Amino acid sequence: MGAGYLHGIASEPTPNPPERAEILGIALAVSDYERVMDWMDAMVAADARGYVTAAAVNLVMSAREDEATMEAVMAATLAVPDGMPLVWGLRALGHAEATRVYGPDLMAGYCARCAHNGTPIYLYGGRHDEGARELLVRRLQERFPGLQIAGSSAPPFRELTPAEDEREIESINSSGAQVVWVGTGQPKQERWMHAMRPRLTPPLLVGVGAAFDFHAGLVKQAPPWMGRSGLEWAYRLYREPRRLWRRYTRYNPRFVIAFARQYAQHRRGSEGSDR
């Protein structure tokens, strides 16, 4: 994944992504914000082509149940561990240096870099509401003075028609953006990035889920201590029970059971190699 999606070969070799390790078949970055953002800078500088997903537990588990989602996640140039349960899983498998790379914080950190170095961005997704989109643009530019937002669009939640897809592609490609932030929710955004990557010219597409609502101030984020403790899901469930209860009650227990099996296999393998 990377160079040569469009217009032949990229001007420079595609940068290698950070080290990765598998949780339930999904390769996740064993890295931190700075190294991930350095790699993103290198992708933009090389005019490579790739896409990034901030993978949460629900994405990992839905990929195990849905072939199209698994294909999209596996084809991502980089998947970063968005939730602490995935970080704990990586550490349990021997990757002590693994840290969380939370989608909204990755977006904030990289927007700060873009404001500093003049990299234009595009916002795709969020609420299908002009006022909400304008609020997001305004809040980001207030927070990151100098940030160039080359364009934005918030498609409806239904599947787009071919003609609507073409309009979105034209809007993004003609904007001059180098990074497209995609906030249409998991796993929809991963399937969209996978399908659209060959047709889009910006070097990077980055799926960040609910980050648009957080940065616009439309949804309150969990306190930092809850994120560090792996309890953000409980806070979000409390705030949006009708929308999220099925996701968490379905996937969280299944993740614990599936990872317990992977960890047991890992332990057996480690004990065997020590003999």
Q: pLDDT of 175-188, one tens digit each?
A: 999 999 999 999 99
Secondary structure letter of residue 197 according to DSSP: G
The model's pTM is 0.88
Residue 85 clears pLDDT 50, i.e. is over it? yes
Residues 6 or more apart whose Cβ sits within 8 Å of residue 2:
10, 14, 15, 43, 48, 49, 50, 77
Q: pLDDT of 92-109, one tens digit each?
A: 999 999 999 999 999 999
Averaged pLDDT, 228-240:
74
Amino acid 274: pLDDT: 62
Share of the chain above pLDDT 90, in %: 71
Task: Return the closest-CA partner of residue 179 out of 48, 34, 28, 18.
Answer: 48
Q: pLDDT of 140-178, one tens digit each?
A: 999 999 999 999 998 887 888 889 999 999 999 999 999
Residue 246 clears pLDDT 60, i.e. is over it? yes
Task: Return the closest-CA partner of residue 27 out of 107, 81, 65, 67.
Answer: 81
Which residue reads 């099996």 in tokens?
261
Six-digit token string for 178? 């180098």
* Buried b or exposed e, range 70-100, using 16+ CB within 10 angstroms: bebbeebbbbbbbbbbbbbbbebbebeebbb
Amino acid 171: pLDDT: 97
Which residue reads 């057996």 in tokens?
268
- Inter-CA distances, 199 with 4, 44, 234, Å: 11, 17, 38
Residue 234's identity, in one-letter code, is A
